Amino acid sequence: MSPVSLPLFDALLLFSIVGLAWASLATTDERRSVILFIAFGLVLAVAWGRLLAPDVALAEAAIGAGLSGALLLGAVHRQPRPLSPGSTNDSRNQGATGMGVVLRWVVTLLCTALAGTLAWALLHAFSSVPHDMLPRAISGNLAASGVSNPVTAVLLNFRAYDTLLELAVLLTAVLGIFALGQANPGYQPAGPVFDSLVRWLVPVLILTSGYLLWVGAHAPGGAFQAGAILAAAGVVLRLAGRTRIGLPEGFMLRIVMAAGVGLFLLVGLTLLLLGRPFLGYPPAWAGSLILLIETAAMLSIAATLLLAFLGGRPESPAHAARTESANTTASNSGNEEQTRC
Amino acid sequence: MINILSSILILSGVFFYLAGSIGLLRLPDLYSRLHALTKADNLGLGLLIAGVALHSQDLLMMLKLLLIWLAVLAASATSAHLIARQARRQETGS
């Protein structure tokens, strides 16, 4: 793969990214802002594709645009709507006087300083060492990593410790979500058109996530993308008003939530006991161990993202069953309404 | 030959996208905008995918492209329906 030079396309891409980011921040309507943010994420995914980073592009499209978009839309939906369209503008204008202006400029200056420092650090890193040192080190050791996709080799083998800590961060996040209390009640049951889409879309999403997990060993994909798509299947089910969205219940849910970190630690500690370095897989076993860890990580990531979308602890089974029966009656009456129309 | 055919397909796809986008900006109400956007863009995407598929010369890749088009068709038809239904419910106040 070599980059094709498309200066006009790249310029358009760059202007769309900056323009969408600005529009998303500048608009006073929260819903519009979120929709612009989703568009921003999708264009950013295209940009990652142009930079020949399909793994990041997939993650950006699935998590950055898709699931974050769903989360933000859900949050906007639950916020009390302003009584009149003008009231949000008023509160914004009040913020723009006096202290607000000073605060905004301070934040802007700090952000610019941070961006400048990061840019300087990047340039410095590129100029102080030969820029192909890292890629050469990775491709030189790829044969011993157990996988042929360099990104997966870095994430699950060379820098496995970082990924373990990332999964621990996700587990901590899920504890925070559980502390919020019961999840919000679900949405109303979908009409016939949406329901028929859900019927075939959810199996396809589950299949796609399995494919991405498997293909991650030798092509773009892996646990994070697969987990995000698996979570998307649950989000679609929830949006369609289903009460059973694929999350296990009770103790099983806790096991799935902790599976990623748990299995990662188990593998690392077992290797330590066998006299190898922590997470230093023996090359003959590396491929299987990575697939095992990634499978557990995918389930944990999917459960975490789905619980974030629920915004709390899922309902107890007994309560869910009661809502289910109520929903069935509601959907029946909804169907009658449809036929009458 | 394949290049010419694929260029024609891609350019007509772009034309439909352009028509859909102009429709989105110019048409008076939500329903006609949705109509313009979904119909024109679905056809435009189909033509684009046909044009790109001609270049791939790999049956599996062509099937994947076709699958993308079918998924977008179903998703955009459903979301257009959901947006229109929500708009009608808000209009009738029920």
ipTM: 0.85
Of A198, A227, A195, A231, whose CA–CA distance to A213 is shortest?
A227
d(CA A152, CA A174): 25
Average pLDDT of every residue of chain A: 84
Mark the ranges of chain B whose per-residue pLDDT is less than 50: none
d(CA A261, CA A293): 9
Residue with tokens 């008076």: B28
Q: Where are the domains of chain A?
A: 1-78, 145-328
Q: Which residues of chain A neighbour B82 with C-beta distances below 8 Å?
A: 193-194
Give the residue with greater pLDDT, A328 vs B40: B40
Across the interface, whether the CB atoms of B71 and A204 are under 8 A apart is answered yes
CA A267 to chain CA centroid, nearest Å: 25
Sequential DSSP letters for A43-109: HHHHHHHHTT-HHHHHHIIIIIIIIHHHHHHHHHHHSPPPSSHHHHHHHHHHHTSTHHHHHHHHHHH
Q: Which residues of chain B neighbour A200 with C-beta distances below 8 Å?
A: 74
B81 to chain A, any CB pair closer than 8 A? The answer is yes
Across the interface, whether the CB atoms of A194 and B71 are under 8 A apart is answered no
Q: Do residues A63 and A226 make contact, with C-beta atoms less than 8 angstroms apart?
A: no
Q: Which residues of chain A neighbour B85 with C-beta distances below 8 Å?
A: 191
The pLDDT score that the predictor gives to residue B57 is: 76
How far does A176 lie from chain B, in Å, by closest CA?
33
Residue with tokens 């839309």: A73
Q: Do residues A68 and A34 make contact, with C-beta atoms less than 8 angstroms apart?
A: no
Q: Which residues of chain B neighbour A191 with C-beta distances below 8 Å?
A: 85
The set of residues, in sequence order, having a beta carbon less than 8 Å from that of B64 and lying 6+ positions away, is none
Paired tokens of A299: 């389930």
d(CA A17, CA A24): 11
CA A130 to chain CA centroid, nearest Å: 33
Average pLDDT on A68-87 reads: 75
How large a percentage of chain A has pLDDT more than 90? 46
d(CA A12, CA A27): 22
Q: Is the pLDDT of residue A96 over 50?
A: yes
H helix or E strand, kind and range, residue B55: helix B30-56
Q: Which residue on chain A is closest to B85 by alpha carbon?
A: A191
d(CA A33, CA A48): 22
Q: Give start and end residues of each alpha helix (H) in chain A.
A: 7-26, 30-50, 54-59, 68-78, 85-95, 99-128, 133-141, 150-153, 160-179, 192-215, 223-239, 250-273, 283-310, 317-340
The pTM score is 0.81
H helix or E strand, kind and range, residue B73: helix B59-92
pLDDT digits (tens, 9 = 90+) for A15-61: 999 999 999 999 988 899 999 999 999 999 999 999 989 999 999 99
Coil, helix or strand for A8? helix
Indicate the angle between helix axes A192-215 and A283-310, nearest 10 degrees.
Answer: 160
pLDDT digits (tens, 9 = 90+) for A262-280: 999 999 999 999 888 888 8
The pLDDT score that the predictor gives to residue A140 is: 85
> Of the given ranges (A175-179, A235-239, A245-249), which has the lowest mean pLDDT?
A245-249
> Cα Rg for chain B, rounded, in angstroms?
16
Q: Which residues of chain B neighbour A197 with C-beta distances below 8 Å?
A: 74-75, 78
Across the interface, whether the CB atoms of B75 and A197 are under 8 A apart is answered yes
Q: Which residues of chain B neighbour A201 with C-beta distances below 8 Å?
A: 71, 74-75
Vertex A167, ends A218 and A281: CA angle to 5°?
50
Residue A335's pLDDT band (cuts 50, 70, 90): very low
Coil, helix or strand for A186? coil
Residue B81: Cβ-neighbour burial (10 angstroms; 0-12, 13-18, 19+): middle
Q: Which residue on chain A is closest to B79 by alpha carbon?
A: A194
Paired tokens of B18: 């352009």
Cβ-based contacts under 8 A for chains A and B? 15
pLDDT digits (tens, 9 = 90+) for A97-137: 678 889 989 999 999 999 999 999 988 887 877 777 788 88
Calculated CA dihedral for residues A283, A285, A287, A289, nearest 10 degrees: -130
Paired tokens of B28: 């008076």
Across the interface, whether the CB atoms of A201 and B81 are under 8 A apart is answered no
Which candidate in B78, B89, B91 is best for mutational testing of the A interface (most A CBs within 10 A)?
B78
B89 to chain A, any CB pair closer than 8 A? The answer is no
Vertex B6, ends B1 and B12: CA angle to 5°?
130
Q: Is the pLDDT of residue A294 over 80?
A: yes
Paired tokens of A116: 């400048």
Q: Is the pLDDT of residue A312 over 90?
A: no
pLDDT digits (tens, 9 = 90+) for A152-206: 888 888 888 999 999 999 999 999 998 988 887 778 888 888 889 999 999 999 9
Average pLDDT on A300-328 reads: 73
Give the residue with greater pLDDT, A88 vs A291: A291
The set of residues, in sequence order, having a beta carbon less than 8 Å from that of A97 and lying 6+ positions away, is none
The set of residues, in sequence order, having a beta carbon less than 8 Å from that of A30 and lying 6+ positions away, is A76, A79, A88
